[in-house]
Structure 1
Amino acid sequence: MSLGARVRGLFELCRPANAVVAGVLTLIGAYVAGRPFAFAALIAAVATVFATAAGNAINDYFDRDIDAINDPDRPIPRGAITPHGALVFSAVLFAGSIVLALSLPVFAIAIAVVNLVALVAYTKLFKGLPGAGNAVVAYLGGSTFLFGAAAVGRPFAAAVLFALAAFSTFAREVIKDVEDVAGDREEGLNTLPIAVGERRACWLAAAVLAVAIVASPVPYLRDLFGVAYLVVVVPADLVMAYAAYAAFDEPARAQGLLKYGMVLAAAAFVVGRAFA
């Protein structure tokens, strides 16, 4: 295997687009906290990119046997990277993330430590437990905003955004599991829809989304943001509500709609801060 092929394999292990998006969400957290241009915000964003890339790499390490059957073009199954190489690469990225995080405030360091443990433990401990894996992914998704705010010394400024992102992500993960029931059952996985039934899982996702939608006006009601926030968050709520309805018959469409709803919700916080 050539050096170029190995480098490409390492790059693919990181899932760079996914890692960069996580870094951007961290910056949004700092922005919502009112300090987007602080050097600490940039440090936190880079640490998030490293940690996300490391989590993706170690997930591929643990999933190498399944990927050999379901996704043989992944770097490890196709031989671009050895399992040991992926593990070492992940450890290097985790180390880089830790070094960067240590320069941040204590609360941000605590979030980083919890997230790193969750990323490492996800595949082995939580992924196969009904609902637990969804909850871990939801926490990690929402925590990027919290981490950005904590990095600039104002963690609670992004608390509502963290909660809304976590609820929405949990619902989307559950709906995605509903979409994947046939394949997951064949692989012997015990996801939430398999454990409790697809319709019950959809109802749970709808209930969680309802909590997020009901809570979304809180920044406006607490005079943190003005009408501009509502102008953007209301369409986001409508998209999420429709996604909850569509999940019962069209889970693939529903989880796609939730992506757009979550992007709109994040944009609402950016707009809200801009016009605060």
Structure 2
Amino acid sequence: MTAGETGRGLLELTRPVNVIAASVLTFIGSFVAGGLAEKPLATAAAVGATALAVGAGNAINDYFDREIDRINQPERAIPRGAVSPRGALAFSLLLFAGAVALAITLPTLAIAIAAVNLFALIAYTELFKGLPGLGNALVAYLVGSTFLFGAAAVEEIGPAVVLFVLAAIATVTREIIKDVEDIEGDRAEGLHTLPIAIGERRALTVAAGLLVVAVVASPVPYLRGDFGLAYLVVVAPADAVMLVAAYESFADPSSGQSRLKYGMFLAALAFIVGRGVRSLPISL
């Protein structure tokens, strides 16, 4: 392998789209907490720590999952030989070190959240991934906690709690659908994911039910007065996209989880818009 191919492989290990998405959620947490203007350096440190930690977590996940990926994702960097397992492990540890260096500059609560998340990222594959529902719940916590981390960085966590809950529920749904998509390789590896434990259709029904809960709860930030009317205008199509994705997953889990991701991104945009124009009168 050439240096260029190895470099591309290392970048792939981090899942750049996931890194960007998590960084944006951390930024939104700070923004919603209202501390962005007052503490831009803390926000930047939190966003940077999130990016490095997520990249590290994805890289170490690929290191532990390399045998499963030979079945489910043979085009990934380690199975195709672009990056060696040892190289992936070293790369992930380097990224983790960078995340820690940034996180320790933040307030105590943010450091505590970062510490829990770093442990969870490392432990996920070896301890939780194969346990029915628990692995999904841990990933959901990690995604939702990006809001909490961003808010804690500017020392105003209250407004981000609802966002944490909604994001976590939506993420559980997507993770269950992904487990249905990956059921062949997971079964071959001896994992006991939710679809393997209770069946694919029942798992998808659980996922859809959870998503309905999130959709029904989505107006809460508006009702609490945290967001303005514009939030409802943007979150409504996001809810529609996610509900369609859940329905679609029964026939095509791959397409369903992909569409659900877009709905979640649109919901994140609703949080930004809602906070930014929350003073709009309801008559608009």
Give, in angstroms, the shift of residue 22 of structure 1.
Answer: 1.5
Unaligned runs of 5+ residues in structure 1 are none
Match of 2:63 in 1: 61
Q: What is the identity, as a one-letter code, of the residue corresponding to 1:169?
A: T
Which one is further off, 2-11 or 259-268?
2-11
Give, in angstroms, the shift of residue 102 of structure 1.
Answer: 0.6
Q: Quick one: which of 210, 213, 218 aligns to 1:211?
A: 213
Q: Quick one: which of 105, 115, 118 aligns to 2:117?
A: 115
**In 1, Cα distance between the equivalents of 2:69 and 2:116?**
27
Task: Identify if the C-alpha distance between structure 1 residues 103 and 67 changes in structure 2 by more than 3 Å, giving closer, same or farther.
Answer: same
**In 2, Cα distance between the equivalents of 1:259 and 1:78?**
26
Match of 2:17 in 1: 17
Residues 69-120 of structure 1 show CA distances to partners (whole Å, capped at 9, x for unaligned) of 5444433344443322222221121111011001111111111011101100
Residue pairs, 1:1-276, within 5 angstroms: 1-37=1-37, 38-276=40-278
**In 1, Cα distance between the equivalents of 2:120 and 2:252?**
31
Q: What is the identity, as a one-letter code, of the residue corresponding to 1:101?
A: A
Which one is further off, 31-40 or 51-60?
31-40
Give, in angstroms, the shift of residue 183 of structure 1.
Answer: 4.1
**In 2, Cα distance between the equivalents of 1:269 and 1:260?**
15
Q: What is the identity, as a one-letter code, of the residue corresponding to 1:41?
A: T
Pairwise CA RMSD? 2.0
Conserved 8 A contact 2:159-2:226: no
2:67 alignment partner, SS class: helix
Task: Identify if the C-alpha distance between structure 1 residues 178 and 99 changes in structure 2 by more than 3 Å, giving closer, same or farther.
Answer: same
Residues 44-71 of structure 1 show CA distances to partners (whole Å, capped at 9, x for unaligned) of 0010111011111111211223334544
Conserved 8 A contact 1:161-1:266: no
Q: What is the identity, as a one-letter code, of the residue corresponding to 1:17?
A: V
**In 1, Cα distance between the equivalents of 2:77 and 2:248?**
35
Which one is further off, 75-84 or 258-267?
75-84
Give, in angstroms, the shift of residue 149 of structure 1.
Answer: 1.1
% identical aligned pairs: 64
**In 2, Cα distance between the equivalents of 1:234 and 1:153?**
30
Task: Identify if the C-alpha distance between structure 1 residues 251 and 68 changes in structure 2 by more than 3 Å, giving closer, same or farther.
Answer: closer
Conserved 8 A contact 2:68-2:186: no
1:57 alignment partner, SS class: helix
**In 2, Cα distance between the equivalents of 1:66 and 1:28?**
34
Task: Identify if the C-alpha distance between structure 1 residues 220 and 40 changes in structure 2 by more than 3 Å, giving closer, same or farther.
Answer: same
Conserved 8 A contact 1:216-1:233: yes
Tell me the TM-score normalised to structure 1 length: 0.92
2:226 alignment partner, SS class: coil
Which one is further off, 24-33 or 118-127?
24-33
**In 2, Cα distance between the equivalents of 1:94 and 1:180?**
27
Task: Identify if the C-alpha distance between structure 1 residues 234 and 20 changes in structure 2 by more than 3 Å, giving closer, same or farther.
Answer: closer
Which one is further off, 119-128 or 80-89?
80-89
**In 2, Cα distance between the equivalents of 1:163 and 1:63?**
28
Which one is further off, 122-131 or 228-237?
228-237
Match of 2:281 in 1: none
Which one is further off, 188-197 or 168-177?
188-197
Give, in angstroms, the shift of residue 39 of structure 1.
Answer: 1.2
Task: Identify if the C-alpha distance between structure 1 residues 175 and 42 changes in structure 2 by more than 3 Å, giving closer, same or farther.
Answer: same
